[in-house]
Structure 1
């Protein structure tokens, strides 16, 4: 059974006065297997942000279903959604979403605090992760005292401490310089090889070229997908670029 199943997902928005309907998603279907690393690409307005919000249980679909480990997410009671997200989903955002009044340590520990873990358990869980991410010496610093790349590493640590079934990354390299972007992508590759499933929404061809599979969304539908297979990152980069050029020129949907 796939880890994540997206079945005929639809999302329709009605304008304020009900005059028009906008089909943000129009029957999106795909699966993600455990330990996969999938990138989702598409132009602005293609529906990928709407898709990510539904996968993150931040929005509900108009039709279709999202199943995580076989559980239909739209059946989760409203009062349980926050705990479900905390326990099963890890999030990495473009703007880091760190609390400025918390140290990096407090930001990383926060999901475990909310889950009522004791301090010894939190430290035992976090120490190897922050050590691997190279931020152990920064734990007492505040977000405004560290670089963008270090902030993003703290955000990744926070995403990992609850052993999520899947990490959902929204433009994770968008606020980083090229060096910090390369380091983050290497980090994602490493944690994926260790068994962490990752689904990343990105505009960056370079970021997507690190994934094992790329889904292309256009007009609320999956138009095409590429599997990396034995391709090098350079070859995958070129294939992604070529596919985007075809889609931007109005190329047809895969059947």
Structure 2
């Protein structure tokens, strides 16, 4: 069953000076099944971040529809969008987006506080999640007191604590060293095995090689896709690398 559907998405920006139009996305259609782990790749300026922002309801398409869990996002009133994001989407960012004046625990609680939950309920939600992510002993610490990998684990906990329908990850390994990246990717794989749907935008071939399907965007259009099938991470890494080379050298779809 599709949890996310995108139909004929188009995004056109009009420049401030001169009124020139720039087409960031053109006729993008895709579907993400419940429980899938999908990576989106493409060169800088290809449109992948624009696509992510539209899926996150942070931007609106010029044309086309986004349907999340059967509900057209375009039908949601502007004043209800924040609550919709909080209740349905979890976000993991490259730069963690943690508040330095809040402990890790308070950062994780933030979406539940905004939803009006009681502390006792929030604490009940966090205890097993913190154990699963290996951050129980860090909850009272502040972001500046922990490593990048630990910050990202806290950010993942914040994304998961609302039981979102979809996790949107924007370059989640971009600010991490190789060891922390490996740990985060293993964590994402575990979360996905537990049934969480993940859509990740990344430049990292290694990160993408952990996904079950990789979509490639070129010049604002879906160019190609690869399914994991029976491939190992290493075999998928090679296929992704070849596809990126094809895109960079002007190859055709295949």
Normalised by the length of structure 1, the TM-score is 0.98
Q: How does 1:64-213 map to 2 (within 5 A)?
A: 64-213=64-213
Query: How far apart are the structure 1 equivalents of 2:143 and 2:16?
Result: 38
Are 1:229 and 2:229 an aligned pair? yes
Moved more, 68-77 or 98-107: 68-77
* Cα shift at 1:18: 4.4
- Within a 5 Å distance, the mapping from 1:32-51 to structure 2 comes to 32-51=32-51
| Partner deviation per Cα, 1:43-101 (whole Å, 9 max, x = no partner) | 00000000000000000000001000111112110100000000000000000000000
Unaligned 5+ runs, structure 1: none
For 1:56, the equivalent position in structure 2 comes to 56
Q: Which residue of the partner structure matches residue 31 of structure 1?
A: 31
Partner of 2:251: 251
Residues in 2 aligned to 1:103 and 1:74: alpha-carbon distance in whole angstroms: 36
Distance between the aligned counterparts of 1:121 and 1:252, measured in 2? 53
**Cα RMSD between the aligned structures?**
0.7
Alpha-carbon distance between aligned partners in 2 of 1:126 and 1:154, rounded to the nearest angstrom: 11
Question: What is the TM-score with the length of structure 2 in the denominator?
Answer: 0.99
Give secondary structure in 2 for the equivalent of 1:46.
coil
In structure 2, the gaps of 5 or more residues are: none
What are the Cα deviations for residues 184-227 of structure 1, in whole angstroms up to 9, with x where unaligned? 00000000000000000000000000000000000000000000
State the number of aligned residues.
254
Deviation, 1:17, is 3.0
Which portions of structure 1, spanning 4 or more consecutive aligned residues, are displaced by more than 3 angstroms?
Answer: none
